[in-house]
Amino acid sequence: MRIERSMLADLARGAAFLGSGGGGDPYYSLLLAEAAIERCGAFDLVAPDSLADDALVVPCGWIGAPTVSVEKLPSGHEALAGIRRLEQIMGRPVDAVMPIEIGGGNGLAPLIAAAELGVPVVDCDGMGRAFPESQMAIFNIRGLKACPSVLTASCGALTVIETDDNLTHERIARALSVALGGIAHMVEYPLTGAEARAHAIAGSVSAAIATGAAIREARAARADPFDALAEALRATGLYPHCAILFDGKIVDLERETRGGFSVGRVIVDGFGGHGRMEIEFQNENLVARENGAIRALVPDLITVMDRETADTITTERLKYGQRVKIVAAAAPAMLREPRALRLVGPRAFGLGTDFAPLEELNGMEGT
């Protein structure tokens, strides 16, 4: 598939949904990607199966608090600078790039470098959604190393991280991102083509494009964009279940930037006095409770959306009075495996409960 400028808005819309509220607002990444394609031309989206075993594949994305990302603008050179430095370390050119996570602005982060370098983007990512911490990538879950890693900032600062422990890598990178103003770009988990095929979550980029296109087309046809979203997600095979959990208005919001994360909760009252939903978030939405009962849990996706347009409202853009629908989707199967849940399940976020699938919590088995 050839990624043309006309496809970027669909990708941004779909990636925003898959971010489960996080991954960064895609607006600035979309502008940078459009400018890069205008300047350098289109590039290919290739399947992981097309990669040579010894290809050098580089995941990348932003680290920091999404609340900062809407105020502190990128220079547009961060990804390219980081990849060039990694090429020096590895002693060879990069063959392809990919998003470390498909969610939000990070779903578009590699596109700028792909256009500049003239290399393809691989149709996969490392999380199947967005998570707040680097060690939550499927590559760490499967025992791969995050380093060598390169962190770059809009001011031009560049730092190489070398450690054998992926949690230590996250802590170093997080502290650096805070010191650099709250957000930075990171190149991490350099992979061979064989490793990308074996471990990455395949098809997530094209899934985001298809999901975004379905919402756009439904709106143009004056059809229900939420029905179109659910149908498109099921068709991807990665996200087999989708449900509207709640419909109402935001009546309370607590949000702060702490330790390099955006953390807080949002409360939505149902229209006509029909119940209340509370969502807790750490960059991404983690748990949705309706009148105290859990309706969805991380790693399943929980997304707050404008009830009229089906535009995703990321956690940094939540506001009192917004009229929203809360939509949840089943996470890719790889994220529901026991070894994955130890790192990305509810207890990894201190929620004090075991994971229960969306379809079980909402009586959707067989749908």
137 SS3 class: coil
279 beta partners:
266, 288
Give which of 255, 18, 3, 265 is closest to 114, Cα–Cα: 3
Report how far apart, in Å, the C-alpha atoms of 185 and of each of 29, 100, 330 are: 12, 11, 28
Q: How far is CA 170 from the centre of its chain?
A: 17
Q: Is the confidence at residue 367, as pLDDT, over 70?
A: no
Length of the chain, in residues: 367
Question: Given a cut of 70, is residue 328 above it in pLDDT?
Answer: yes
Q: What is the pLDDT of residues 80-104, one digit of tens each?
A: 999 999 999 999 999 999 999 999 8
Q: Does 233 have pLDDT greater than 80?
A: yes
Q: What pLDDT was estimated at residue 261?
A: 86
Residue 69's pLDDT is: 67
What are the pLDDT digits (tens) for 171-211? 999 999 999 888 899 999 999 999 999 999 999 999 999 99
pLDDT of residue 68: 72
In 3D space, the residue among 1, 362, 347, 335 whose CA is nearest the CA of residue 140 turns out to be 335
Q: How far is residue 44's CA from residue 201's CA, in Å, rounded to a whole number?
A: 18
What pLDDT sits at residue 366? 47
Closest by CA position to 141, among listed 344, 348, 346, 350: 344
Rounded to 10 deg, the angle between the 109-117 and 78-90 helix axes is 60
Percent of the chain with pLDDT over 70: 98
pLDDT of res. 147: 97
For residue 14, give the 3-state DSSP assignment. helix
User: What are the φ and ψ backbone dihedral angles of 133, each rounded to 5 degrees?
Assistant: -125, 145
Are 47 and 196 in contact, with CB atoms under 8 Å apart?
Answer: no
What tokens does 359 get?
Answer: 């379809």
Q: In angstroms, rounded to a whole number, what is the distance separating the alpha carbons of residues 50 and 47?
A: 6
| Full set of structural domains in the chain with CATH | 2-204 (3.40.1610.10), 240-361 (2.40.390.10)
Residue pLDDT, tens place only, 140-180: 999 999 999 999 998 899 999 999 999 999 999 999 999 98
Whether 105 has a pLDDT exceeding 70, the answer reads yes
Of residues 233 and 69, the one with the higher pLDDT is: 233
Quote the pLDDT of residue 273: 77
296-309 tens-digit pLDDT: 999 999 999 999 99
| pLDDT, average across residues 237-260 | 94
Cα 321 from Cα 268, distance rounded (Å): 9
pLDDT in the model for residue 365: 63
Compute the distance between CA of residue 27 and CA of residue 11 in angstroms, rounded to an integer: 11
Q: According to the 3-state scheme, what is the secondary structure of 149-193?
A: EEEECCCCCEEEECCCCHHHHHHHHHHHHHHCCCEEEEECCCEEH
| Predicted local distance difference test score (pLDDT) of residue 343 | 97
Q: For residues 266-272, give the mean pLDDT.
A: 94
Average pLDDT, the chain: 94
Which amino acid makes up residue 172?
I
- Tell me the C-alpha distance between 202 and 99, whole Å: 11
Radius of gyration of the chain (CA): 19
Q: Give the number of other CB atoms < 10 A from CB of residue 38.
A: 10
**What is the pLDDT, as a whole number, of residue 228?**
97
Mean per-residue pLDDT, 6-21: 96
DSSP state of 54: T
- The answer to whether residue 61 scores a pLDDT higher than 80 is yes
